[in-house]
Structure 1
């Protein structure tokens, strides 16, 4: 029987792939089919499709299978009606691609398969290519596509851990979007599995992390005194976060396997208000604003400051009130993230670093405007990062862009500030290059799962603190909350039968 790699070599014997049209890529990268890393793309919703061309632009990689519980482009939501469709048409250099679907947000495995095959066909004689398989269930994919080298996981958050563990146990290398898992203990299982199997892993937020070089030069040089606080704020959420559980009876869309989408989570009736872009706002399915954006801004901060486990996590959050029979009440919401919140993490002293607080803000919340800015009638931007020391502050963009000092008084004339180092957003991804080298036998890349333990712990504790609404005292050694008994149940999940990753 012809395996996947033999098929690719045969289908491509007389052609070289230019992974993107030349007007988009600016050149060609020719890699023999036998040397390509074959990838199964798991998750083909709007974000999966939006990210897909970036992967395909790498000459060493070829997508050979797609997987999603949704077959058709039905019911998808996005931030614009035809924005994604037009993006994909531009990549293909085919303005007529999917003609007649205007007004319908693209998504689902049929659209993904069509896009992959159209993309790779552009450089083949006759313009035909049929080398992409399609699956609803990732488990069937892993059973049948045994010669696939790697998977890329672009599903809702609650499936990340399950799929990555199953893939790594089968020897597949893994690329995954954030978060590693939306439960703390499951995230630890993912990292432990990566360590045990030694497959090459790439956690995608690495590519967006800015540089801490400038900030650390000022901190280590004593320019702002002892570092005391780090503040990071975002305008997220930019999606609905619901104040009640869906109750309307809604038919499951044609070609959508609702049971597969639920995966490890408890069964409930289908609602479009759980799926697609809005999954992020549900504790069961998402990770909230910090999981969505905090990996991009804070992973490099965790590494530079050697932040380990926090000793406490303290939430401040919005609540919702309702009326029943004319009587006002506060909604007991442990199902959806709040509209806005701040969460303060306390980290103990480590090495030469003093104890430091990390404060996360979302939903439009920001720290108070520093007095140094008020003097000039300035205010903080809608998103940003600030490092507060005993003698001054460092203000930067959300991804550490353009860090600059705001000191108490004037900067001494004999103090020469280090050269500014801007964030690395938009630079050709180095993490993927290092992952490719790791797949081919090199060392693990800095973007591997093994380096994401502390940031994953913080993101999941953020959710637990918000869900309980209480200050948590945390023991990182045992991974237990020591003062709020009900909090520990949110550190893990109860798996539906057949979904426990420890049994896969």
Structure 2
């Protein structure tokens, strides 16, 4: 595959909005110190500095963190905008197997397009392709180059390059400092491994991987690379467990027995049967590269874009999607490590075979609704505890404490159950409410962690850049997400097998249903083995 310099033909539109000049935290970084503290000489100069400095807070191109942006789908295009606004980061390459803005879906038909128009200062910008939802590497390159031209014209930067194949990107962009990975779930682990092997810092959306053993390999490699920064983005949106833990540790609810966490996801279509309709591969999409390590199959739009998360091969399900935001802070506070038992309950699908009902045996897509109970052993002073996850609109039984005051459980939330009482909270552990048998309800006004606005994203990205330049890890690393990575992948394996699983953390094996161990890894296609990528 050759790198590309595509050209987007933007047609005038009817909307005219004032351009937004995005700005970020101003800071000067000594790049020589960064290179000295990096693991190898691979983190080298990639942009020619201009000869005259540009005023207060100016960061020379040679001092910027050079970054490749991997994944130009809808969420990728949404998250590239605040990244562009960080002065100390320079996006030098984008990568996606899809070239054009064709076939994308999003929560809002023109939402991302309008955000792009404001950010790059072109009120008539259009994505081309279907001319609705933004996506594809051609859009990614055009957005990057247009933003930098309008906002950093004095930098004398090189044009952003575009790649279809991530492996080619890493081969040719040898002076790259970091990558951001925001692809479908099945590519996360492999792409992170490939970057870490080449001593690139890695910023990644959840999950670490959608296979347990692959995720473990990522985390082990991150441990070995002590000077390389890894960061899983959901950490920036986590809530706080301080008030909940104060109530638990002071005995307000007695000994903690259960933690319940529920979501209204999936809020995307999930399919109980495999696609059967023959559909041509869209122009510009390299289907083989999109599949990556997974087995070859006929293209279907029902596998891609917004839909990938519902398939075991390509996604991680609702827990991988949302559990990283809600549960990470809970795992840390309660010191949850590895579950011993994983107990699934899931919906099923029935078709008609002529005049006879036929229950579909589905081990290819996540159910529309499920509950999964994880049994965690005692850890130090904390007794054994059950963690119960619910999705698809399922919720725990309504507690008496809410029934007595004529309330119902919200669509998403938390409940901590002890021997003497309960704590209810929002999905991000915000605004906890204590119900104790000995006292009236106590409320705590604690904001949630998901207020992830533009300025907050810029601050989080600036922290990543500063940490990379210092060669020093900061909170939210892949290593810190190990227990949660284990949980979300065992959640998928239990649902896929349809059986209660007993898990041995030392051997990383399911002991009671040996056949289910195949769901902890994958059969890698030639060219995609994590040992050689």
Q: Which residue of 2 aligns with 1:110?
A: 138
Secondary structure of the corresponding residue to residue 30 of structure 1 = coil
What is the CA distance between 1:129 and its match in structure 2? 6.5
Q: 8 Å contact 1:117–1:129 — kept in the other structure?
A: no
Q: Which residue of 1 aligns with 2:9?
A: none
Q: Which residue of 1 aligns with 2:274?
A: 245
Q: Distance in 1 between the 2:140 and 2:338 partners?
A: 40
Q: 8 Å contact 2:432–2:444 — kept in the other structure?
A: no
Secondary structure of the corresponding residue to residue 389 of structure 2 = strand
The structure 2 residue matched to 1:299, chosen from 328, 332, 350, is 328
Q: 8 Å contact 1:283–1:336 — kept in the other structure?
A: yes
Task: Say whether 1:425 aligns with 2:425.
Answer: no
Aligned pair count reads 487
**Match runs of 1:485-496 below 5 Å:** 485-496=514-525
Q: 8 Å contact 1:215–1:394 — kept in the other structure?
A: yes
The structure 1 residue matched to 2:121, chosen from 83, 93, 107, is 93
Q: 1:96 to 1:224 in 2, by over 3 A?
A: same
Q: 1:408 to 1:200 in 2, by over 3 A?
A: same
Q: 8 Å contact 1:403–1:422 — kept in the other structure?
A: no
Q: Which residue of 2 aligns with 1:22?
A: none
Secondary structure of the corresponding residue to residue 375 of structure 2 = strand
Q: Which residue of 2 aligns with 1:208?
A: 237
What is the CA distance between 1:193 and its match in structure 2? 1.1
The structure 2 residue matched to 1:342, chosen from 366, 371, 377, is 371
**Higher alpha-carbon deviation: 89-98 or 250-259:** 89-98
**Match runs of 1:170-209 below 5 Å:** 170-198=198-226, 199-209=228-238
Q: 8 Å contact 1:274–1:282 — kept in the other structure?
A: yes
Q: 8 Å contact 1:322–1:331 — kept in the other structure?
A: yes
Cα deviation code 1:114-158 (max 9, x no counterpart): 001111111245999752010000111001100110000010000
Q: Which residue of 1 aligns with 2:98?
A: 70
Q: Which residue of 2 aligns with 1:498?
A: 527
Secondary structure of the corresponding residue to residue 283 of structure 1 = coil
Secondary structure of the corresponding residue to residue 452 of structure 1 = helix
Q: 8 Å contact 1:431–1:447 — kept in the other structure?
A: no
Q: Which residue of 1 aligns with 2:48?
A: 9
RMSD, matched Cα = 2.2
TM-score by length of 2: 0.87
What is the CA distance between 1:93 and its match in structure 2? 3.3
Q: Which residue of 1 aligns with 2:81?
A: 53
**Match runs of 1:218-233 below 5 Å:** 218-233=247-262
Q: Which residue of 2 aligns with 1:146?
A: 174
Task: Say whether 1:374 aligns with 2:403.
Answer: yes
Cα deviation code 1:90-132 (max 9, x no counterpart): 2223211227778521100000000011111112459997520
What is the CA distance between 1:439 and its match in structure 2? 1.4
What is the CA distance between 1:54 and its match in structure 2? 2.2
What is the CA distance between 1:46 and its match in structure 2? 0.4
Q: Distance in 2 between the 1:350 and 1:434 partners?
A: 32
Q: Distance in 2 between the 1:99 and 1:242 partners?
A: 29
The structure 2 residue matched to 1:460, chosen from 489, 494, 516, is 489
Q: 1:207 to 1:440 in 2, by over 3 A?
A: same
TM-score by length of 1: 0.92
